[in-house]
Structure 1
């Protein structure tokens, strides 16, 4: 049985990956919190240093890979992905990670817009470091680096001022989309599954409608032609008043709502593992469109 190391066992993405792999693989998980929920459903788990302590974090990961004879590492935490991408570490061939230059662009949410605004201008919303520059009266204040809905504020542009670490985007009133996707080692998309975020709790989809929208899928394909992804990623859009999708952010990991995509017929972590270890790409995956709801389960931790 292959051994898979999943980082971020306390976050929604990490928990999803563990749940979707644990029936077929031996799961070793890590987190900085001893009460991480994913530990309860892992075969073995380790407490590790935070990514902010780069040197010790790398030593922890290298030691676990060596001692546990890990076959594949799936990181699910942005800060850890950043550290793993920019450092030359032992066993790097076992880690599913995007190219460093792609990580540097995508972990800075303002840089994504700057990089793509002349390449795919129709999907880029109005944005600026200074809210006074925006034509939109209603704006969204966003952290340049951040996860989920943390530190995001909506209001009139006159309520805000330019602030270090933040940028501003026009307010978009329409539907929110997340596209869960995997790119192969040559940056070709293996699978992409869009869903509408119908009910969101703390940035995570609780109810979603899986819908294979051609326009959304075409935009994801176009984005991937410029950003050479390698592994799991998700792209988020929100529609403007006319129903046109505008890019919100790109996350270089599995999403917190990944289990909705799995319920519709696409177990993306399993697809990723089979491809990365054995070059196997599934044929004829049937995606069942429809509305899906997440219902939490309870597990004994100790």
Structure 2
């Protein structure tokens, strides 16, 4: 039995991670006990006893009391390892893991590399000239030239915040007035990035690294989003309908991108990275962002056979890194996944959809 601390359990991604592990536990001799924490006492996951055996509220990661409370939970629950999933906490742990009073297993990216990736403008700068990213330009809300933007990325473009997820500040822009109005509405966004509008498929490639070596990959396509109607962009960050896809090209491009950044910074790749792609007019995939964590449909691809969360814990606790052979997960037949609020995901053949 291994006691695993899981942070940010109010969000869907940590719960998706645990759900995926429990899916494999049924056919494995491994046993994991999960302890959930979140800064919000109303967080759903704190009270989900199907997933978490114990739960605690903790201060925000930027609070001076954060590590004191985390250390007390680690001691009380005899924690063996931690799964850190919200980006803000991934960064905090990557930077200040030395604050731990007890040595436990973690799987974290290098802090400098993570910081380079989470900012979308910096990410595009690192990959500029590689053909991996679309045309782009940074926008300062208080000073920008619309003509310069359209001259760089085209008359129709995509705008979003340079930091954050769930489509923060995202919208398709086709006029100067719509850009001005959108910036005015999103007053809390300090910086935007505008990029050429990519009309094709929206895909993701999951890349699991241990000590500089790529160990697992899996790909999926996002088609529709949960509560899409409430977001002007139609994107909420939570996929409601997606496909499990075999796309070796995405793996190749993802590996090239991460290797490029790793080599430039002189930092070893470690952790889980989710590389997001959108196809251009010619069907060529371009990287739009790279997450330094799992994403919410993790348990959906696990149900399809690519159980990267379970693989991660197995590697953390029971394997030597050199003995874990690389697997590029492939699906034997076309599969889709359906997700909804407060419901477990469904994985099925696309041909089984009702007409």
TM-score (norm 1): 0.90
Matched with 2:122 is: 111
Per-residue deviation at 1:157? 5.3
SS of 2:65's equivalent in the other structure is helix
What per-residue deviation string (whole Å, max 9, x for no partner) do you get for residues 8-53 of structure 1? 1011211101212244310001111223222302011110111232
Matched with 1:84 is: 93
Matched with 1:42 is: 52
Contact 2:106 2:316 in 1 (8 A): no
Distance 2:284 2:339 in 1: 31
What per-residue deviation string (whole Å, max 9, x for no partner) do you get for residues 176-197 of structure 1? 001122111x221111101111
Give structure 1 stretches of 5+ with no counterpart: none
After superposition, where does 1:261-276 map in structure 2 within 5 Å? 261-276=301-316
How many residues in Structure 1 have an aligned counterpart in Structure 2?
A: 295
Q: 1:92 to 1:174 in 2, by over 3 A?
A: farther
Matched with 1:191 is: 216
Q: 1:93 to 1:35 in 2, by over 3 A?
A: same
Give structure 2 stretches of 5+ with no counterpart: 26-30, 140-145, 184-188, 227-235, 263-267, 345-355
Distance 1:271 1:205 in 2: 23
Per-residue deviation at 1:93? 5.1
Per-residue deviation at 1:156? 1.7
Deviates more, 1:41-50 or 1:88-97: 88-97
- Which of 332, 337, 341 is equivalent to 1:293? 337
SS of 1:123's equivalent in the other structure is coil
Answering whether residue 33 of structure 2 is matched by residue 26 of structure 1, we say yes
Matched with 1:145 is: 163
Answering whether residue 111 of structure 2 is matched by residue 100 of structure 1, we say yes
Deviates more, 1:285-294 or 1:6-15: 285-294
- Which of 246, 251, 257 is equivalent to 1:223? 257
Greater Cα radius of gyration, structure 1 or 2:
2
Matched with 2:204 is: 178
After superposition, where does 1:210-289 map in structure 2 within 5 Å? 210-226=244-260, 227=262, 228-279=268-319, 281=324, 287-289=331-333
Per-residue deviation at 1:95? 2.3
Per-residue deviation at 1:135? 3.5
Contact 1:265 1:288 in 2 (8 A): no
Deviates more, 1:288-297 or 1:60-69: 288-297
Deviates more, 1:93-102 or 1:9-18: 93-102
Distance 2:72 2:127 in 1: 39
Aligned Cα root-mean-square deviation (Å): 2.2
Answering whether residue 253 of structure 2 is matched by residue 209 of structure 1, we say no
Distance 2:6 2:208 in 1: 16
Matched with 1:73 is: 82
SS of 2:131's equivalent in the other structure is helix
Distance 1:116 1:178 in 2: 17
Distance 2:123 2:199 in 1: 21
Distance 1:38 1:187 in 2: 33
Q: 1:96 to 1:273 in 2, by over 3 A?
A: same
Q: 1:275 to 1:70 in 2, by over 3 A?
A: same
